[in-house]
Structure 1
């Protein structure tokens, strides 16, 4: 979702050639940050699911 606009901007800069490195560094930094946020959200979701399943197993009538 976040990758596409970043790539587009980098391609535009590449044709021009002037601010390529600076632009790329900024976007890679932003991308890294967004990945960290996404990872964090994914981790929280996973933990919530795990909690849910743990409770489900604990209260299952088949246990």
Structure 2
């Protein structure tokens, strides 16, 4: 099954302003977290394993990426 066959419930970032900035939407399944551009629903999507997503969020929380 590919990602297009899965019914996903997308959530827009709470930091989105609606003023045309760079915003993302996220959808989760039991095994993956999907990310897409909130202004281009039919464009490319990224899919991460839960383990990869947890590592990414952990690094964000630790502010390892800088401002």
TM-score, normalised relative to structure 2: 0.30
| Higher percent of residues as helix | 1
Structure number with greater Rg is 1
* Structure of higher RCO (CA pairs closer than 8 Å, 6+ residues apart): 1
| Higher percent of residues as strand | 2
